[in-house]
Amino acid sequence: MNRGVGKAIHDYDMISNGDRIAVGLSGGQDSLALLWLLRERLRRVPVHYEIYPIYIDPGFEPGFGTRLKDCCNQWGIELRVEETRHGILAHSTENRENPCFLCSHLRRKRLFEIADEQGCRKLALGHNKDDLIETLFLNIFYAGQICTMTPSQIFFQGKFTVIRPLAFVDKTIIRKFANENRFPVFENSCPTSKISKRKEIKEMLNQLYQGNSNVKGNIFRALSHVRTDYLLKDHSKRRKRSGNRHEYFTTREFGYDTSSAL
């Protein structure tokens, strides 16, 4: 776990001395592991930085913002809980076509706004190796693009950098780490969390992984071994935007998968 996180931070020069880093929490194991590791890392590396965890409450009931804040307090970290109705709005009758897009868009927008208020120029998110692979296939199948999230991405003409220290870590390792450290479990109350396109991709990939243990590693390595000379040329003068193009997985504003959990 520490080795994978250390490699990602080193390879992508994610954290520098004096950084103020906003950390997006969702209540899931990934983001909790990220916060725990960033805090623990401060004790053993000669690089000083500050972390500011943020939870954007989407407004679903029952909520867990208070319990998540108590968890962070036990770790000696103050969590900012931002109460919103983003999830309720996204699932309203006026927005039935794609609630995940709107909810995620609003959540990311507010994360950047709060990071700016706190003087943070970096935003750490808990996306892991599995998320990067799944996003590749989501974009191929539903956006017609070969792209994924990257461990470090610059946004808004260099104003912010989104970092993903867990980008080289398998979900199974994170799950084991969370269980060993007895992280609390927070139930996702989103009504569409179990019927998303990402869940379909997970199930498809898991079948492939079960058939051949090398598949996941090969897909992940392929993300950095792209043979562009064996891909088709883009002859279109202007990208055509179909009805739901970009809605699930990429946006011009944020540049990464908008349906992924934080």
**Tell me: the pLDDT tens digits for 210-245?**
999 999 999 999 999 999 999 998 876 555 554 444
Query: Could you tell me the domains of the chain?
Result: 2-229 (3.40.50.620)
Positions in the chain short of pLDDT 50: 242-262
pTM for this entry: 0.88
pLDDT digits (tens, 9 = 90+) for 27-56: 999 999 999 999 999 999 999 999 999 999
Report the pLDDT value the prediction gives residue 130, as an integer from 0 to 100: 97
Report the pLDDT value the prediction gives residue 96, as an integer from 0 to 100: 65
**HEC string for the chain:** CHHHHHHHHHHCCCCCCCEEEEEEECCCHHHHHHHHHHHHHCCCCCCCEEEEEEEEECCCCCCCHHHHHHHHHHCCCCCEEEECCHHHHHCCHHHCCCHHHHHHHHHHHHHHHHHHHCCCCEEECCCCHHHHHHHHHHHHHHHCCCCCCCCEEEECCCCEEEECCCCCCCHHHHHHHHHHCCCCCCCCCCCCCCCCHHHHHHHHHHHHHHHCCCHHHHHHHHCCCCCHHHCCCCCCCCCCCCCCCCCCCCCCCCCCCCCCCC
Q: What is the mean pLDDT of the chain?
A: 88
